[in-house]
Amino acid sequence: MNTKENITEEQQADMNNEHSPEQAEEAAEERAEAASEAANAEGGSETANAGGESEAANAGGAGEADADRAAEDEDPRLAELEKQLEDSRQRLLRAQADFDNFRRRTMKEKEELAQYATMKLVGELLPVVDNFERAITAAKENSDFDSLAKGVDMIFRQLDKVLAEQGLKPIPAVGEPFNPEFHQAVMQVESEEHEEGIIVEELQKGYMLKDKVLRPSMVKVSS
């Protein structure tokens, strides 16, 4: 039994030895297939990665192209806005220059108006000066004081007329109620003829130039 079993085991071993090369070959083929599949899988992954990178690159290029087109679209609008801004700035500068010229011209006209107004007044006073000179000459040549008085009175009326034409007028005083806007009281006196606060005497005549007080009247007021 033992011998048979030994033979059988040896035969079985021989049989196993006979099949070992085939199994080894099959195992080698299986390993080769596994390696090939792994390589294919790795290659597919690389291809997928490459495809993803390509798509990303394409997407990036498309984004840059869109940005360029947007910039091209904005350039005309930006240029137009810059042109409008420059036009507005130029108009502002012209307006400022016009205003400065107007201000200078107005000041010059006011100065000329004041000068010409003075010239007009002086020109109207020249005949009065001429008459004063004639009166003085006549007084030196003779001692007719009556004629001299008449001449001076005539000159005074002539001067008063010139000043009245310029808007000068005397301020009413005697018999008027005292008004501090037009009168300056230098003294208070008792008066049986006047009520309290009435001007009884004018010491110096006051004048108004049109609607403004040029000089108040110096007066005595009843108390």
Prediction pTM value = 0.48
**Structure confidence at residue 113 (pLDDT):** 81
Domain-embedded: residue 4 = no
Averaged pLDDT of the chain = 76
Query: Is the pLDDT confidence value at 62 over 70?
Result: no
Task: Give me the pLDDT at residue 171, please.
Answer: 92
Last residue of a domain, one of 166, 196, 212: 166
Instruction: Report which residue type is found at 205.
Output: K
Confirm whether 219 is domain-assigned.
yes
User: Do residues 138 and 212 share a domain?
Assistant: no
Query: What pLDDT band is residue 16 in, cutting at 50, 70 and 90?
Result: very low
SS3 labels along the chain: CHHHHHHHHHHHHHHHHHHHHHHHHHHHHHHHHHHHHHHHHHHHHHHHHHHHHHHHHHHHHHHHHHHHHHHHHHHHHHHHHHHHHHHHHHHHHHHHHHHHHHHHHHHHHHHHHHHHHHHHHHHHHHHHHHHHHHHHHHHHHCCCHHHHHHHHHHHHHHHHHHHHHCCEEECCCCCCECCCCCEEEEEEECCCCCCCCEEEEEEECCEEECCEEEECEEEEEEC
In a shared domain, residues 216 and 155: no
**Assigned domain for 150 exists:** yes
- Residue 185 placed within a domain: yes
- Look at 21-25, 81-85, 175-179 and tell me which has the smallest mean pLDDT: 21-25
User: What does the block give as tokens for 180?
Assistant: 């501090």
Residue predicted with more confidence, 18 or 214: 214
Total structural domains within the chain: 2
pLDDT of residue 138: 79
Q: Give domain status of residue 187, yes or no.
A: yes
20-29 pLDDT tens trace: 555 656 666 6
Same domain? For 180 and 105 the reply is no
- Rounded distance between C-alpha atoms, residue 158 and residue 170, angstroms: 15
Q: In this structure, what CATH number is given to the domain that contains residue 93?
A: 3.90.20.20
Please give the residue range of the domain that contains residue 212: 168-223
**Are residues 145 and 176 part of one domain?**
no
Domain finish residue from 143, 166, 189: 166
Is the per-residue pLDDT at 49 higher than 90?
Answer: no
Least confident of 58-62, 142-146, 158-162, 172-176: 58-62
